[in-house]
Amino acid sequence: MVGQHDENMLSDMLPIYYSRLFPQNVFCRWLSCGSAPQPLSNRELSFTLADDVYLRYLSISNQKELQTLLQKKCPHKLDIGAVYNTKPSVGRHDAVVLARELVFDIDLTDYDEIRTCCQEAKVCEKCWMFMVIACEIIDKALKEDFGFQSILWVFSGRRGIHCWVSDHEARTLDSPGRGAVADYLCLITGGDNQNKKVHLGSDNLHSSIRRALNIIDKYFEQLLQDQGFFSTPERLEKLSKMIPDEALRSQVQKNLDSMSDNSLDRWKTFINTYENYCRETGINVRKIRYLVEEIKIQYCYPRLDVNVTKGFNHLLKSPFSIHPKTGKVSVVFKPSNAKNIKLDEIPSIHSLLDDSSPDNAQHQANMRTAVKNFQEVVFSLEKLEAIRKKNDANVSLEF
């Protein structure tokens, strides 16, 4: 249980966790594939020790070295960096980044302005729904639009999810390429001083946005109810601030203020008001052609931390690292199964190591599933890499 997590106990438990439960073998295989054609030893690992001491530019050449390093340093947190042209511990000042998984970081704190159940570090089943939607939208886009196949989804350990794309094309994508992919996927822009953060213009909607909207529609009404997006005067105010057209805004305010505070009812009334308004005004609606879609996106679409994706050498927490503040394992999950994840069923180091804990059996089982999920992705990555190498060899023979 999260409530019983005590950071001070980590130093005693971690050595056991690393040697008995951490999937060292699969982990090394995953990293070595991601490091090809450079050896595993050119990959940067970074440790956070007790008392927030950072160790950067570490590296390992094989599983044995990993085991030794983990036992010796007992990191409270394990991060993964880029692949360099040399061993990162040796020539780090003129080291050049050669490859790096394409990564995405989605964190619930970025949803604070819209989620109503929790704030900041807190997370519950209700706001987990945002992550479910985010995972489905991003996963589809990466596969269907960009043709990526080796995609690893990981629970970040507290309040978000990470995604690692290991396809060769993704790993070797340059900075502008990463920036373009991030911007392609990012629809919500603007800071605290902008109320309306989504602008879809008035031309045709891009295929990828339509697909995202179809996904959002599957969850929208439930999320609306769970979060009560429009159930208080302040939340209604937020909605009305997103309406750029003044006449429409005052109509909406008038209609919604006087009715019951059920968010779904209010939403339906809003849609009616909007549709009537568009019909009556006719010509003037270009500016608000996609208003309904824009609002749905602002409330549901994934909020990516684009800087993590754009940076070529941004460190990101490793799968199966323990979150030092919650004690939870960063488990690998299948995107198709995201909606079935129960937060308190995510294994924590305490219940995994304590067989008298009531959660022990279930957490053990979930840990095994997570390792299996990890294996599946790594095996398919190895297959992909084998095919790629074969093709490359053929091409070079032809010339």
Partner 1 sequence: MDLNIRRKSTKTRVTGSLIESYPHDLQMYKLPPLENISLQEFESLALERVTLLRSLATSTTLKGFRIYSEEWVEYIIGELRSQGLKYYAKLCEKSACGTTEADLQARRKDHIAHFILRLAYCRTEELRRWFIARELELFKMRFATMRGDAVESFFKINNLCYTNISDEEKSEIMHFLRESTPYPNLDNMKFYKVKFYEVLDLVKSRRVYLSCGFAYIPHKDFISVLAAQYRTQLKQSLAIACHHLGEIEQDERLVTLLKGLHQSYSGADYSSVKAVVPIESLDSLSVKSFPLCMRQLHEQLRLSHHLKHGGRLQYGLFLKGIGVTLEDSLRFWREEFTRIMELDKFEKQYAYNVRYNYGKEGSKKNYSPFSCLKIINTTVGPGDCHGCPYRHCDISNLKNRLQGYGFNSQAITEIIDMTKKGHFQVACSKYFDAVHHTDLGIGINHPNQYFEESQKIVKGEVKVEVKKEVKSTAVKMEAIDQIEEMDFDEVM
Interface residue with partner 1, options 7, 12, 125, 169 (CB under 8 A): 169
| Phi then psi dihedrals of residue 346, to 5 deg | -70, 125
Residue 250 in the binding site for partner 1 (CB under 8 A): no
Query: Which two three-digit tokens encode residue 244?
Result: 């750029």
Please provide the size of the chain in residues. Answer: 399
Q: Which residues pair with 162 in a beta bridge?
A: 105, 154
Residue 25 in the binding site for partner 1 (CB under 8 A): no
Site for partner 1 in 305-324 (CB under 8 A): 305-307
Cβ proximity to partner 1: between 214 and 272 the closer is: 214
Cβ proximity to partner 1: between 8 and 193 the closer is: 193
Residue 197 in the binding site for partner 1 (CB under 8 A): yes
Which region, judged by CB under 8 A, interacts with partner 1, from 16-24, 143-151, 255-263, 381-389? 143-151
**Who's near 151: CB < 8 A, 6+ residues apart?**
139, 142, 143, 163, 164, 165, 166, 335, 377
Number of residues that bind partner 1 (CB under 8 A): 43
Cβ proximity to partner 1: between 8 and 194 the closer is: 194
Residue 205 in the binding site for partner 1 (CB under 8 A): yes
Residue 303 in the binding site for partner 1 (CB under 8 A): yes
Q: How far apart are CA 198 and CA 294, in angstroms?
A: 6
Residue 183 in the binding site for partner 1 (CB under 8 A): yes
Strand residue runs (E) in 325-378? 332-333
Residue pair 154/163 in contact by the 8 Å Cβ criterion? yes
For residue 204, the SS3 value is: coil
Residue 191 in the binding site for partner 1 (CB under 8 A): yes
Segment holding 20, helix H or strand E: helix 10-20
Residue 147 in the binding site for partner 1 (CB under 8 A): yes
**Which residues are annotated as catalytic?**
44, 105, 107
Cβ proximity to partner 1: between 56 and 339 the closer is: 56
Interface residue with partner 1, options 24, 86, 177, 357 (CB under 8 A): 177
Going by C-alpha positions, the residue among 266, 194, 258 that lies closest to residue 230 is 266
Q: What angle do CA 105, 325, 111 make, to 5 degrees?
A: 40
Query: Which two three-digit tokens encode residue 396?
Result: 């070079």
Site for partner 1 in 343-362 (CB under 8 A): none
Query: Which residue ranges make up the site for partner 1 (CB under 8 A)?
Result: 52, 109-113, 144-148, 169, 173, 176-177, 179-181, 183-184, 188-197, 203-210, 241, 303, 305-307
